[in-house]
Amino acid sequence: MPRVRVVLVRPETPANVGAAARAIRNTGLDALALVAPGDWRTVECWRTAWGAHDVLEQAAVSPDLGDALADAGYAAAFSGRGFRGEPVQDVREMAAEMATLAPGERAALVFGPETSGLTQAEMALCGRVVRIPTHPDQPSLNLSHAVMVAAYEVHRASRRASTAPRRATHGEKEGMLALLFEGLRSIEALPQRQAEERFLEWRAMFERADLTPKEVRLLGHMARKMTGRGRPETPG
């Protein structure tokens, strides 16, 4: 089974943080990560984390989502809105895909703030956008309930064998994407104005792709050539 962490981005209710920790312990996931959580260490947080206080104590706190995903080779963003018309996975399909990851590989289930959800830029960082099907009369789920559903589906699917090679981590892709951004600008494939906004779709495409570390190095080599900074040898 991959090492799956739950990432809560700017959570607004400490009780949901505690309940998410309990869901992690219930389903055998790896860890909890918090992005810009504010004041979350409250009595309500500890009360709802019954049996999972160690998960709270070991929770990693990051200033932004990119930092929280740096070592993750697979990241799934949960949203009811989706990303610019790109395909949205059902949570069960996502869990089945995650079950094919190599044992020990790091993956992340990413959830946004209770009232606003993840931004388009944050979804672009994750590569996959996932939806939990609900009744149309009440489509919105409580944050901790959404975490429990997703964690359960991953736990349920984790018995499948995995033979896939290691995927490139988010951090490895970020290095390549920085080179690609400059390469695309140098050949005028991105506009001079709003280049970063237009690059979001490129970023989302490569984050969705299941690239190996070698493939990321090859893409970085190509990007260097685009800027005229390429090396004569082909990276191995």
Residues 59 and 108 in one domain: yes
Residues 209 and 182 in one domain: yes
The single-letter DSSP state of residue 102 is P
How many domains does the chain contain in total? 2
Residues 141 and 187 in one domain: no
pLDDT tops 70 at residue 230: no
Question: Where in the sequence is the domain holding 99, given as residue range(s)?
Answer: 3-157
Residues 103 and 203 in one domain: no
Residues 81 and 197 in one domain: no
The CATH number of whichever domain residue 62 belongs to comes to 3.40.1280.10
Residues 88 and 117 in one domain: yes
Burial zone of 213 (CB within 10 Å; 0-12 exposed, 13-18 middle, 19+ buried): middle
Residues 182 and 116 in one domain: no
Residues 211 and 100 in one domain: no
Which band of pLDDT confidence, cut at 50, 70 and 90, is reported for residue 215? very high
pLDDT tops 90 at residue 66: yes
164 inside domain: no
165 inside domain: no
Burial zone of 180 (CB within 10 Å; 0-12 exposed, 13-18 middle, 19+ buried): buried
pLDDT tops 60 at residue 233: no
Quote the pLDDT of residue 180: 93
If you average pLDDT over residues 39-59, what whole number do you get?
96
234 inside domain: no
Quote the pLDDT of residue 158: 83
236 inside domain: no
Residues 125 and 219 in one domain: no
Residues 46 and 109 in one domain: yes
Quote the pLDDT of residue 229: 65
Quote the pLDDT of residue 160: 58
- Give the span between the Cα atoms of 194 and 203, in whole angstroms: 14
pTM score = 0.72
Evaluate the CA torsion angle 166, 169, 172, 176 in order and state its sign: positive
pLDDT tops 60 at residue 231: no
